[in-house]
Structure 1
Amino acid sequence: MSGPAWQPVPWQGGGPGQPVPSPMLAAHADRERAVDVLRAGFAEGRLQQDEYEKRVEQAYGSRTLGELARLVADLPQGPQPFGTPFAQQPYPGRAAGVPATFLPAPAATNSKATGALVCGVLCVFTGGITGVPAVVLGHMARGEIRRTGEQGDGFALAGLIMGWLSVAGWALFVLLMVAAFSGGQ
């Protein structure tokens, strides 16, 4: 009998022209992640029962990330590959990018921060009447942004600055008016 004694099964990878699998040792979390990928593949009908059970057994017995990668190379793997160093290495079946479905949603901009900015800008057109709402909304938005991690701190800060300038302008105007009326008597 000629030829190599070991023939790679298609889902095991490691054939000619394929990247060398990672020799980094796998952690328990890496094995669990591989089993999760296998479980999802089985649930989606991508794997038969016997193949799923065989791969799960091999996943728990794997020592390296390369062995785990070969077990899941032909399955969709979601947003997180095995370990950061290994994530930088290509392996068979790995997509070039992560589908947008699996990416975290971008953080939303705080609506109060947007309101503060709008009120601050409107100060110019309303003669400063919207300055107080800009200040109130700006302070509330910055507090919420610190608590929740939302976006919009720049909007809130800009609204605060314009609002406080408007309030200071009104205070100066009132002070000058009082001085003008009291000085004339």
Structure 2
Amino acid sequence: MSQPTPWQPWQSGQGVPQPWQSHTTSSMLASHADRERAVDVLRAGYGEGRLEHSEFEKRVARAYAARTVGELALLVGDLPAGPVPQPAPLMAVPPVPRTFLPTARPQTNGKAVGAAVCGLLCVPTLGLTGIPAVILGHTARAEIERTGETGEGLAMTGLVLGWLSTAGWALVLTLLIAVSLASG
């Protein structure tokens, strides 16, 4: 002898679902977002096998037709609030092939950065940082070639500006010496 199934408030033809009496907000009008959240819970329940397809369709239709939050609560009251975590599979996930892994970007050489900064500072310091720019630039290029770091452009910037500054000072000193010898 089978027991009669208890009446579910979401079943059509069995009466209008009544909002929960214990909740004061259950008679509040439902928003579109409330209905979508209820349908999401129903989808999760259906996806987990807690609902038959026909029952799922009836509940979704009732959720979209629901006017109050209480009606929505009755539709999802016997379901968990979201997907139940599934146990991890016994077999480990296969590793991603190396070709699809992101490549690590090489680090920028610090001496190349220093060479570029010294080269750019040649103008405001009137060429005082030209020689350090040249030294750092040559050292950085050697390290970049050896280690594979980035920063070749920065090192070259420091070298060019450093050599221009050094050449400018050499020209100024040569002119000063020539003028002093000619006048003197």
TM-score (norm 1): 0.49
Between Structure 1 and Structure 2, the one with more helix by share is: 1
- The structure that has the greater radius of gyration is 2
TM-score (norm 2): 0.49
